[in-house]
Amino acid sequence: MVSISASVTPTTLSTLAGKRILLGISAGIAAYKSALIVRLLKQAGCEVRVVMTSGAQAFITPLTLQALSGEPVRTSLLDPEAEAGMGHIELARWADIILIAPATADLMARLVHGMADDLLTTLCLASEAPRLIAPAMNQAMWRHPATQRNVTQLHADGWQLIGPAAGDQACGDVGPGRMSEPDAIFEVVARLFSGAPQAGNAPHVVITAGPTREALDPVRYLSNHSSGKMGYALAAAAVAQGATVTLISGPVALPTPNGVTRIDVESAEQMHQEAMRWAPEAALFIGCAAVADYRSASPAEHKLKKQEDSDTFTLTLIKNPDIIADVAALPTEQRPLVVGFAAETQQLEHYAHDKLKRKGLDMIVANDVSQAGLGFGSNENAALLLWRTAQGTEQRLESPQPKTQLAQVIVRQALSLI
């Protein structure tokens, strides 16, 4: 259940009072949540005007949104009365921000190509206001290469993505693509007006998280115990400190942090491809994923059968690409500040120093995963932080603490080095 009043604090009321929000709604079952977004914004003192695509009206009526916003809902670019005074240009100039929630794959594609074939896309072209977009679609549509290309271009064009979240979907699938909840979207809007850096001038942080899976056959794979909790905590911490965040995630059972653009991958090769695609655009790259060092030389096309006449089974493994080293080796004009992680079971400081130097990193976060209750799968972690300075290498030991708290420390230190 969404709490309608949980995010409305006195500070938020003073920050948002009088702000003009243009809310665009496109077709999708998540359109019903847009009513809650309007209500939250109105409770915070915002002026809200709603623009709906023709498809959106099949899921929620303009009358509902008019009643909640207190303003007529615009649905057509060719409204004779509204356009008598070039109403779409006036509306575009009126908005302090444009928020589209939900945004379908189709709408995102049309925005990428600069189409202006309805009122909402026309307003987006005609406005210079900050723009937020909350995608909502089937998990396969979200993962499709065409959609991911559009996500990249929208980001480059100045759009700030909110979510999507992962979980059960109306079609019965499970995965990323759910629209972020109304209170999470509201918090991003509030943060935009709070004075924190936003998409245009915020540092872009790219983070890898979770494990990778290396296929042996269609049903088996090599992996590890990484839960992704540390990487996801880093992503949330970076957003909280004003960064624009792209999270490249292996398979985990975690929701996407608010305000984070998430890209899902399975194998180390896929993670490497996405990391090399996004790293040159970033100011900071944090390699927190537990990437498999090796993969099968030749994954079987069909399920491997047990060999009844032998008690042993031999696999031939080959090295995976070294993601963090390849990012650190980028040309100077493309290279972000690079932070790596080292999960060790002994000689923590020795191996951390060695990896920092050998991989060409700017900073490393080393943790002893042999300690009970810390590291993989747990909610707490301890770490040794090492970073390069003009004078040499400095370090600090962080005692056991919640991963969310440690993430704030790591991100703050990394951002200070940019």
Distance CA 405, CA 234 (A): 9
403 is in an annotated binding site: no
Range with lowest mean pLDDT among 92-101, 178-187, 311-320, 334-343: 178-187
Q: What is the CATH number of domain 202-296+316-418?
A: 3.40.50.10300
Q: Which backbone phi and psi does 262 adopt, to 5 degrees?
A: -110, 135
Beta bridge partners of 292: none
pLDDT digits 0-9 by tens, 37-64: 999 999 889 999 999 999 999 999 999 9
Phi-psi region of 138 (alpha: psi -120 to 50; beta: other; left: phi over 0): beta
* Choice among 86, 170, 171, 253 that is catalytic: 171
Range with lowest mean pLDDT among 41-45, 326-330, 397-401: 397-401
Residue 128 tokens, joined: 């210079």
357 is in an annotated binding site: no
Distance CA 23, CA 397 (A): 46
pLDDT for 71 beyond 60: yes
Enumerate the H helices of 209-267 as residue ranges.
229-240
pLDDT for 86 beyond 90: no
Say what the pLDDT of residue 110 is: 93
Q: Express as a percent the part of the chain with pLDDT over 70.
A: 89
Distance CA 117, CA 110 (A): 9
Q: Mean pLDDT score of the chain, rounded to an integer?
A: 85
Distance CA 114, CA 64 (A): 30
Distance CA 234, CA 257 (A): 10
Domain map (residue ranges) of the chain:
8-200, 202-296+316-418
Q: How far is CA 48 from CA 8, 71, 81, 88, in A?
A: 16, 7, 20, 15
Q: Is the peptide bond before 164 cis (omega within 30 degrees of 0)?
A: yes
pLDDT for 84 beyond 60: no
288 is in an annotated binding site: yes
354 is in an annotated binding site: no
pLDDT for 234 beyond 90: yes
pLDDT digits 0-9 by tens, 168-177: 677 777 767 8
pLDDT for 36 beyond 50: yes
287 is in an annotated binding site: yes
Distance CA 417, CA 285 (A): 12
pLDDT for 347 beyond 90: no
Enumerate the H helices of 6-158 as residue ranges.
10-16, 34-43, 62-69, 87-94, 105-112, 119-126, 139-143, 145-156
> Which residues contact residue 408 at a Cβ distance below 8 angstroms, ignoring those fewer than 6 apart?
237, 240, 241
DSSP 365: E
pLDDT for 267 beyond 70: yes
Residue 1 tokens, joined: 């259940």
Distance CA 108, CA 147 (A): 8
Say what the pLDDT of residue 104 is: 93
pLDDT digits 0-9 by tens, 95-110: 889 999 999 999 999 9
Q: How confident is the model at residue 155 (pLDDT cuts 50, 70, 90)?
A: confident
Give me the half-sphere count of Cα atoms (radius 13 Å) on the Cβ side of residue 361: 29
289 is in an annotated binding site: yes
Query: Homologous superfamily of 8-200 in CATH?
Result: Flavin prenyltransferase-like (3.40.50.1950)
322 is in an annotated binding site: yes
Question: Measured in whole angstroms, how far is the alpha carbon of residue 187 from the centre of its chain?
Answer: 15
Q: 173 by DSSP, 3-state: which?
A: coil
Distance CA 179, CA 165 (A): 6
Beta bridge partners of 260: 245
* Within this chain, domains 8-200 and 202-296+316-418 share the same CATH topology: yes
303 is in an annotated binding site: yes
Longest dimension (CA), the chain: 84
In DSSP notation, 130-171 reads -EEEEE---HHHHHSHHHHHHHHHHHHTTEEE---EEEE-TT
pLDDT for 80 beyond 80: no
pLDDT for 236 beyond 80: yes
Say what the pLDDT of residue 78 is: 67
Residue 124 among the catalytic residues = no
Distance CA 364, CA 287 (A): 9
Distance CA 357, CA 345 (A): 19
